Chain A
Amino acid sequence: NAGVTQTPKFRILKIGQSMTLQCTQDMNHNYMYWYRQDPGMGLKLIYYSVGAGITDKGEVPNGYNVSRSTTEDFPLRLELAAPSQTSVYFCASTYGQINEQYFGPGTRLTVT
C-alpha cells in the first residue's frame, strides 16, 4: 500500500489564483481529513469527510472547498488564494471511529 499520497509537494501561488490539492488513500478508509499547519504551530482541521458524498466543515474552513466523489480521493480546493493561506497542508485518513489517523507527506503552499 502507498498509504496516503498528496500532490503537489510544493506550490507557489499568486494572490487571487486558484488550485486544487490532491489527496488519495489506498487503504479503503472511510474517514478523511484536511489540516493546515502554520509555522511553529500544531495542525488545525479544515474539512473532513465520513464517506463518499459526505463532507463537513472543521475548525478553519473559510476560503476552502472539498468534495468526496470516491472513497479514495478527497481533493481540497482553494479559491482566490490569499497570503493567509500560506501553510503546509496535510491530508489524513482513518478507518473506524477510534483508530489512528494516517497522514500524507504534506503540501507546502506559498501565496505571494
Chain B
Amino acid sequence: AQTVTQSQPEMSVQEAETVTLSCTYDTSESNYYLFWYKQPPSRQMILVIRQEAYKQQNATENRFSVNFQKAAKSFSLKISDSQLGDTAMYFCAFMSLIIQGAQKLVFGQGTRLTINP
C-alpha cells in the first residue's frame, strides 16, 4: 500500500521569504503522479502543482516549484516570494490508477503554513 508522509506539521515564514515543504512517499509502482494541494481556511481543495513520475524535469507553476527525487521517493514543494494568501494547509498526494482508470489519491497529513506580514 502507498503511504505519504509530511514530517512538518506546521511552518511559519515572513512575507516574501522562500519556504520549502517536505514530502516523502512509499510505493512499489513505477508509473504514478504526485500532487500538492492547498486548503485555505475556506476548506476548498485547490491544486497547486503536479508531477508525472516518468518526467525527470521538476514541475514549476509561477512561484511554486517542486524538487522531485524519484530514487529517494521525495517530493518537496518550494514557494518563492511567499504572499499572505499562501497561508493554508498544504497536502502532498500520491496518485495511482485503480480499476477502470479511476484514480486513487493518497494524502499526507498536511503541513499548516502561515505567512506573517
Contact A103 B44, beta carbon cutoff 8 Å: yes
Interface range on chain A: under 10, 10 to 19, 20 to 34, or 35 or more? 20 to 34
Give CA–CA (A68, B105) in the complex, Å: 20
Contact A42 B45, beta carbon cutoff 8 Å: no
Give CA–CA (A40, B45) in the complex, Å: 15
A97 interface residue, CB < 8 Å from B?
A: yes
B16 interface residue, CB < 8 Å from A?
A: no
Contact B109 A56, beta carbon cutoff 8 Å: no
CB-CB < 8 A to B101: which residues of A?
Answer: 31, 50, 96-97
B99 interface residue, CB < 8 Å from A?
A: yes
Residue on B with the closest CB to A48? B102
B104 interface residue, CB < 8 Å from A?
A: yes
A101 interface residue, CB < 8 Å from B?
A: yes
Contact B97 A42, beta carbon cutoff 8 Å: no
Pick from A40, A45, A49, A90: contact of B104, CB below 8 A.
Answer: A45
Chain A contacts to B: CB under 8 angstroms? 31, 33, 35, 40-45, 48-50, 54, 56, 58, 88, 90, 92, 94, 96-98, 100-101, 103, 105-106
**Could you give 8 example pairs across A and B, Cβ below 8 Å?**
A33-B105, A41-B110, A42-B110, A43-B45, A43-B107, A58-B104, A97-B97, A106-B43
